[in-house]
Structure 1
Amino acid sequence: MRPVVYLHVGAAKSGTTFLQNVLWHNRERLRSHGVLYPGDDDAAHVRAAFDLRETFFRGASDPLVPGAWPDLVSRARAWPGTTLISQELFAPALRPHVARALDDLGFADVHVIFTVRDMARQIPAHWQEDIKNRFTTSFADFTAALRRPDRNTVKVARLFWGLQDPIDVLGRWAENLPPENVHLVTLPRPSAPRDLLWKRFCRVVGVPPESCDLAAPFANPSLGLPETQILRRLNASLDEATVDWHFYNDEIKHHLAQDVLGRRTGSPRIQLPAEDHAWAAEQAAETIHRLREAGYDIVGDLEELRPSPPGDDAGRHPDDPDWAGIADAADDTIGALLRRIADSEAELAGLPAGIGTRKADQIELLHADAKLLRERIDRLCEDTVPLVKRAARTLSERHPMAARLRETYWRLQSGPRDSVPAAEETNTR
């Protein structure tokens, strides 16, 4: 029998991180069932997607990306059973890249998997994920771009539909595959059992659901409303010439956004405004109709793609600042970054002479940039909550890098639903 390769190509924010962490932490158990989840680390599939698509984040590079896709292909070729490759950044691949992927995998029976959920949940989730990737687009501008007839001419809309639209994505990835080799897995409603998505995924790849441990993997929760609002304004204050992609990725996206703000509880979630629900429902109806006509293998229920009617708890518009929540989130933000500075300074102090110069130079650049920012912050501190005021004023005297965070407070005074130009990025993760 020919070997089988399953390509799980998206969609982003549809349970992909959960599934990928289950697969990574259970790769030895999967091998015992004849399934290979290849790669030497959990970022191998990310690099392979970038390599296949010949792209990366603008202004940045990764020396491990070139050759990452052929590496996975060679491992799949050497494996006698089933190989599973999973990464949502495969979704935007252009037709020439898809053709290359299918040609490289010509030794196997190729199947494509796409996990998808309803737009009423997906739009807010994708918007906050863009904010985590340095975008500054307001929610109103974001949804307006999605609804434009020429949506592919607007970057944020082009990225969204290229990652999220099952008709568009499968139109490229499934064009030369038999319909039975294309599997669309719908995301269960929020009230469904936690393991239902995993069971549906296992049904596609032929793995007993109970063979893997679901306890170890971590979730990838969306940011709450105030956390997203403060991060968006922080993005607007960061100069790309000073804060490059690698620094932003490590310190802002992963440390601040995911490790600090992403772990806060009790914040109101971002919801699709009621005025956008009718349009989202129309999009869902058209998508459901076209997916049924396509004849793909549907695992789940296409009706789960139809947004639930908006309830009475719609909450505030995502662009209307939640001032109390923002102040509370900012307190955690300042504290976390100051602890990060203290840890870095302690690390530098413990290094032998002559080592760590690059980090020291970066800190000096931040100090110089913070001088002007700190002058602006003093006015804001008089209007904020007492605890934040005292902490910001005292700690910034010792750690000038905190001034950059206090600049965020100042920008919060700009008023509700402010619109700022979108940052330039080549992709989202």
Structure 2
Amino acid sequence: MARELILHIGHFKTGTTALQMYLDYNRDLLAEAGLHYATQTRKHAKHSALAFSLLRRAGVSELMHGYSSPHPPARIWQALFDEVRALPDGQSMLVSSEEFIRLGAHPDAAALLRKQINQASDLRFRVIAYLRPPQAHLQSWYNQLVKMGIPVGSFTTALCSQIEAVHWDYALALKPWVEIFGAEAVILRTYGPALREGDALYADFLGALGFPLPAEAEPMPGDPNRRIDPRRLAYHRGLNRVDLPRHVRELMNAHAQASLDSDDGEGPRRALTTIRDEARQGIEAVAALPGAALDLEAMLAALPALPEGPAQDLDALIALMAGEIGRLRAHVVSLSGRIGVLEEAARRDETPDPPPQDPAA
């Protein structure tokens, strides 16, 4: 049975970082089951050099994250193919990079991929990708761009003029993979909230490829790619436009997050349904009192509610900005006081000493 190369191509913002770290950390256990996580071009638990080599040769310069390797794609891909050919018969090699999905937006890079794959007719290939509903994906990707410091505009501007079409046109994103490898070789999975729980993503990924989840495998603790709190996304984006030392930027973002966290409060929170039920029951109880003359319909039509969406976000942003302005004002007052002390000391230094008096006078 031929040796196999599996390409995990993303999409972005579908748990790829967590999955890559899991695969890298547990690569020995996975190899025992016949699934080998490739060592060629692996950096930070992913294989993005494979995609970047194609994109760079095709003339792509945006979002290359400093990739500057002079090696041609053929050299990099042939090294990978040689690693696959060294496997025992019937076993599989896996590479993973969300950067692969960008080839759909760059046909010249996709043509280069086809050229490389044509040199490996002795290998079997499969492709696996996760997709999430477009709006959720776009919001998460926009958050990531701001987090990386990319100079994007508003969400509207970014969507209409700055984000590659593969982030909403999934047929375009998958076009080169279907054309090169065949539709039967492409595995598609939905990424949703359920896969963020425990080891669900790892089990789903391995199961889709026909491999068991190793009982001894250890997931990586925490979220390896935590997003920016959406309530301070605009604030973070604004800071990206200012030339500030990194430590100052980080301090300002930390202050902003602390402000939002204080809004959230601590301790147990009552459910809105509980609050509304208690309010309704209370109104109905007091309305039944002999001396009550309440407009019961009006009371029940205005039960407690929470601000949602833009109104809630605007309130949080105003509180955040007011806190930052207050800190700056306090700093200015402190500096003004220090300057006043220094100016007073300078005036004293400039006052000439009185002339010495003649003792005989």
Work out whether 1:138 is the aligned partner of 2:140: no
TM-aligned CA distance change 1:205 to 1:60, over 3 Å: closer
TM-aligned CA distance change 1:235 to 1:101, over 3 Å: farther
1:314 aligned to which of 295, 309, 314: 309
Contact 1:37 1:84 in 2 (8 A): yes
User: Cα deviation per residue 1:18-49 (whole Å; 9 max; x = unaligned)?
Assistant: 11111111112112222111235325512222
Counterpart of 1:92 in 2: which secondary structure?
Answer: helix
1:385 aligned to which of 326, 330, 351: 326
1:50 aligned to which of 2, 27, 52: 52
Contiguous gaps of at least 5 residues in structure 2: 265-305, 336-361
Matching residue's letter, 1:237: V
Q: Write the distance in 2 (CA, Å) between the matches of 1:3 and 1:175.
A: 21
TM-aligned CA distance change 1:256 to 1:65, over 3 Å: farther
Contact 1:10 1:87 in 2 (8 A): yes
Q: Which residue of structure 2 aligns with residue 41 of structure 1?
A: 43
Larger radius of gyration: 2
Which structure has the higher relative contact order (CA within 8 Å, separation 6+)? Answer: 1
Following superposition, the deviation at residue 180 of structure 1 comes to 2.6
TM-aligned CA distance change 1:164 to 1:26, over 3 Å: farther
Following superposition, the deviation at residue 86 of structure 1 comes to 0.8
Q: Which residue of structure 2 aligns with residue 7 of structure 1?
A: 7
Q: Which residue of structure 2 aligns with residue 17 of structure 1?
A: 17
Q: Which residue of structure 1 aligns with residue 84 of structure 2?
A: 76
Q: Which residue of structure 1 aligns with residue 178 of structure 2?
A: 174
Counterpart of 1:91 in 2: which secondary structure?
Answer: helix
Normalization by structure 2: what TM-score?
Answer: 0.63
2:225 aligned to which of 220, 240, 254: 220
Normalization by structure 1: what TM-score?
Answer: 0.54
Identical aligned residues as a percent: 21
1:196 aligned to which of 175, 197, 200: 200
Contact 1:35 1:83 in 2 (8 A): yes
Superposed, 1:27-426 pairs within 5 Å as 27-39=27-39, 41-42=43-44, 45-54=47-56, 55-57=60-62, 61-64=66-69, 66=71, 67-80=75-88, 81-93=91-103, 94=107, 95-133=110-148, 134-143=150-159, 145=160, 154=161, 156-157=162-163, 159=164, 161-189=165-193, 193-211=197-215, 212-216=217-221, 218-238=223-243, 256=250, 266=261, 313-316=308-311, 322-326=317-321, 384-386=325-327, 388-390=328-330
Q: Quick check: 91-100 or 319-328, which moved more?
A: 319-328
Matching residue's letter, 1:24: D
Q: Write the distance in 2 (CA, Å) between the matches of 1:111 and 1:14.
A: 19
User: Cα deviation per residue 1:364-407 (whole Å; 9 max; x = unaligned)?
Assistant: xxxxxxxxxxxxxxxxxxxx124x54468879xxxxxxxxxxxx
Following superposition, the deviation at residue 322 of structure 1 comes to 1.0
Matching residue's letter, 2:224: A
Contact 2:9 2:96 in 1 (8 A): yes
Contact 1:199 1:209 in 2 (8 A): yes
Contiguous gaps of at least 5 residues in structure 1: 146-153, 270-310, 331-383, 396-429
Following superposition, the deviation at residue 217 of structure 1 comes to 6.7
Following superposition, the deviation at residue 63 of structure 1 comes to 4.6
Contact 2:53 2:69 in 1 (8 A): no
Following superposition, the deviation at residue 163 of structure 1 comes to 4.2
Counterpart of 1:175 in 2: which secondary structure?
Answer: helix
Matching residue's letter, 1:48: L
Matching residue's letter, 2:83: R
Following superposition, the deviation at residue 2 of structure 1 comes to 0.6
Q: Quick check: 120-129 or 97-106, which moved more?
A: 97-106
Contact 2:9 2:129 in 1 (8 A): yes
Q: Which residue of structure 1 aligns with residue 295 of structure 2?
A: none
Cα RMSD for the two superposed structures: 3.8
How many residue pairs align between the two structures?
Answer: 274
Contact 2:52 2:64 in 1 (8 A): no
User: Cα deviation per residue 1:125-149 (whole Å; 9 max; x = unaligned)?
Assistant: 1111222341231123234x1xxxx
Q: Write the distance in 2 (CA, Å) between the matches of 1:205 and 1:313.
A: 41
Q: Write the distance in 1 (CA, Å) between the matches of 2:81 and 2:310.
A: 47
Counterpart of 1:6 in 2: which secondary structure?
Answer: strand
Counterpart of 2:193 in 1: which secondary structure?
Answer: coil
Q: Write the distance in 2 (CA, Å) between the matches of 1:122 and 1:320.
A: 25
Following superposition, the deviation at residue 229 of structure 1 comes to 1.6
Following superposition, the deviation at residue 317 of structure 1 comes to 8.7
Contact 1:226 1:326 in 2 (8 A): no
Q: Quick check: 184-193 or 45-54, which moved more?
A: 184-193
